[in-house]
Structure 1
């Protein structure tokens, strides 16, 4: 073992196992993220002063069904994007593995698209404004991202590149060299830091301009993800793309562009 390296803190990826039933940290991260998002979104809707005109655009009870649409479509979009973009050859050879979501393998950019589509359908079916719903989702999503990255670390998967920093970790299955704990970097930047920034913006009047928070999320997540990719080992089946870029960085470009468009569009709305 290199002198400047930390051993991986081995944690059983299965939290509780009762007979054939196994509750994994990976699944628990998703559940906790959705529950927290449901709670916080209802709290924000119950605070009328945060919204334009001093009145929330929908009752807090609307979140009860909206979160189901966002969760199901988000998971479907994330899994579909991972299968099609990150590992298509493998899943063509092993089609039964496509539904094994509990084993990992979600593309967050695809999850964003899926969740937005789900919220759009829900809003249309219930005659609710779309952008405020997406703004709420943007605020609460980073906590789910942070928990998901922690689950990546526990598994372990999606580890970082080889490094000589003193906090480098030797991950099981990643060879003898210490690597960046990039999952923790991403949990801190894409998750906790982005959540704090978006919550401050929301409580400072950001929700009074529909689409502004969603745009800030697109910009913030795209930049944070691109930064995290500098330390993360690219997926072996893809490797580096042109000019040393990774797929995560490439997919973040349109996300940042859409975020900028939403911010500029929202600035035209009356505060």
Structure 2
């Protein structure tokens, strides 16, 4: 049975592998008679091609031109637009404008193929920091060391403490972002160490292990009933960890 004419805009999170779309999104893509994208090298377009589904490239000069082309084709075909990683800024509004001028417009829907998970924007932090430190990035960022960054870490921690005391929630969020920048910056600098490198995943993995280890009342079978007992357990486990470190007496 030939699919009914219409337009579906398939969008996915750029932080999730594009092939990991929901089944419903894949069904929309598979059923389409026409699949269009701006660039065959876009991650979603590559995933669809890898699934042996043919695509067509349409590189319009503006959102308005692209919207008109999509709506016109959707009058006769079941068209899917494979969203770009940059979100195709302005396209949704342009399609709305195009549809509103027609007496009998084709049906249009937005199909969300994947969503960000909590913490997904942290991947953007890592990617931006890597770009700044890599060749062709920022000369100032590229020359920083752990030692040169220490004053900024101390300053940002102090400014966050001041924001907490002020009670200004927006200021707190901003200053905590600056503290996060220092964590990401130091981890990226550490990647470049010639003999003992570590990266943000090592930092995060160590933190996860520590949190699990120091919360046996949550992740194991230790029983506690008060915050004071939790604090005492934490201190005991911390002292045991220190005693096991190389060089400890």
Higher helix share: 1
Fold agreement, TM-score > 0.5? no
TM interval, short-chain normalised: under 0.3
Higher relative contact order (CA 8 A, sep 6+): 1
| TM-score after normalising by structure 1 | 0.22
Larger Rg: 1 or 2?
A: 2
Higher strand share: 2
